[in-house]
Copies of this chain bind each other. A is one copy, B any other.
């Protein structure tokens, strides 16, 4: 299959829309003669002594990028050069790493492997896009996380579960989409952000998707894998734990010989077609999905059986820990969904095979605007695990609201678990450094679809880009990452940069202000999860309650009087969370049930905090709109208008949130706003 290396033309997109489509690989033509002069010698030639698909893509990217930015195509040569970019490999470096060193006329890119070359080239292109100096470069880049993965939640009917950017560009009507240019372009974007693994179908595996590991679709999977592989990305599939039963075997019991034979035969068949297949992603015994519980087996027995099948080929079983009772009785205040992952998986620590990796959501609930870190992280010592984020903004505005997620994720990564004493940070644990895991890394649910700009909200591109950059190097600040994205996406006008940064940086806090207060979470409409509905899940079976009554609100998760969830943390954190006087304000209602008149560390009462943040959040959205408006002349109309429409909708929804939350708590508490603002 032939792909166009550069997206100067995409079927169905206008030229204007293409600007959005190009995302962070704009390669805008440089008109700064001064800058062009300083980099001119580096652009003359590129020398490389090895060759493979990935390096070929790197060279393509380099020549196309330079041609678009500087109208200059470097000569590709195999001999040593004195001017230009010289690429060599050094097997002694860490995996996927690279070094960049420049002299006056020459860039030396030394990489461990082909992936390193690709990342090094994208690094240089990033610097060129941002018009940064290439002189005196001397750096080594080593990715912090060995696995840097994306999970697609695409269904083969063409829908994307929790997808807010149009239909799938992988599937339609239970077929792979024939034109794979878009997958190719996606792979480029991901590689430019440092991603090296992807699962291409929803973790909820339905009837047709079960067949992805069978002849019916396997050649399509292989062709898709080939595309991703060219960009150093390994392909995984989500599987249906009950697949054997769809194929005539009487059970899916992991201890059943027929079941074991089934999976071994499947693994063999897959690896015959796709030798570098990554492995299986599994959602089992979770939200009504089948799993080993049906047969009285535990998760280790379930996962290890699959792992045995994949072991000969080096494949992984990624097993999600999102296991909880989704048929809880709301009347039962002792059962606590927050406890579930830890309660299920801690007793099995050490029982999993070496090629099993548990996948743990960042918080104990489900990607809320504010949660504590999952206590499984820092507790599992003898089991490989990945951390899971959600780039798709399921509970964070569904890509209709501008919310920059990296600040939230950075808080998770910087959280001190105290697992091996002070300074045992999440970022080091999930990178595999603390417990010396054989497999480690970070995974996130994708936010793309077939919308012309990939992500619905143009600014949601930042979350995809930022995710990749952050997990490559968690030491990068959220500001630094955003700045990279803004410059690559919108160019280097200082006013544009400053204004957009003012919109982006506080956006998570703003969203938190006008939605669900003090860590309580939820309060959304059922099932689609958009918009305020304070009691939406309050009398439902999902384990997501706030227990607001006329006196107070919050979930008592303390050891003494509550569900005991705080006890799942190491004692340093447990003490803080358990103690009403020490618990951080932003998580207060996650851990404690308090009267509306309870005084926060901030000095405000809970009820006044609710009122204040909700009024403030709406004002902050207005300020965002003012900021964007000031850029009207500086941004192309397509991008300007599409963002403005979403901002206006965000303001409308922020008011809905503000008034619904305030009215709800006013009706319950009867306590007036100190400042006499309108509450309905």
A: which residues have CB within 8 A of B? 330-331, 525-526, 532-536, 539, 548-551, 656, 659-660, 663-664, 666-670, 680
Contact = CB atoms under 8 A, between A and B. Distances in A.
A539 B668 contact: no
Contacts of A668: 549-550, 667-668
A508 B473 CA distance: 65
Contact of A331 (B666, B669, B680): B680
A670 B526 contact: no
A539 B657 CA distance: 10
B526 A663 contact: no
Nearest to A666: B549
Nearest to A678: B331
A188 to B, nearest CB: 39
Contact of A664 (B539, B656, B659, B666): B539
Contacts of A664: 535, 539
Contact of A534 (B535, B656, B660): B535
Contact of A669 (B536, B550, B656, B680): B550
Given A533-B536, A549-B668, A550-B668, 16 more contacts: A331-B659, A331-B680, A525-B526, A526-B526, A533-B539, A535-B536, A535-B664, A549-B666, A549-B667, A549-B670, A550-B550, A550-B667, A550-B669, A550-B670, A551-B670, A667-B668
Nearest to A668: B550
A419 to B, nearest CB: 38
Given A331-B680, A525-B526, A526-B526, A660 B551 contact: no
A662 to B, nearest CB: 11
A656 B330 CA distance: 10
A548 B667 contact: yes
B670 A539 contact: no
Contacts of A549: 666-668, 670
Shortest Cβ-Cβ A-B pairs, 9 listed = A549-B667, A331-B680, A535-B535, A539-B660, A550-B550, A550-B670, A550-B668, A331-B659, A550-B667
Contacts of A525: 526
Contacts of A331: 659, 663, 680
Nearest to A333: B680
Most buried by B among A550, A666, A669: A550
A219 to B, nearest CB: 31
Contacts of A669: 550
A120 B9 CA distance: 75
A539 B533 CA distance: 8
A667 B534 CA distance: 14
Contacts of A536: 533, 535
Contacts of A660: 539
21 contacts: A330-B680, A331-B663, A331-B680, A533-B536, A533-B539, A534-B535, A535-B535, A539-B659, A539-B660, A539-B664, A548-B667, A549-B666, A549-B667, A549-B668, A549-B670, A550-B550, A550-B667, A550-B668, A550-B669, A551-B670, A668-B668
Most buried by B among A331, A532, A534: A331
A550 B533 CA distance: 18
A548 B660 CA distance: 13
Contacts of A666: 549
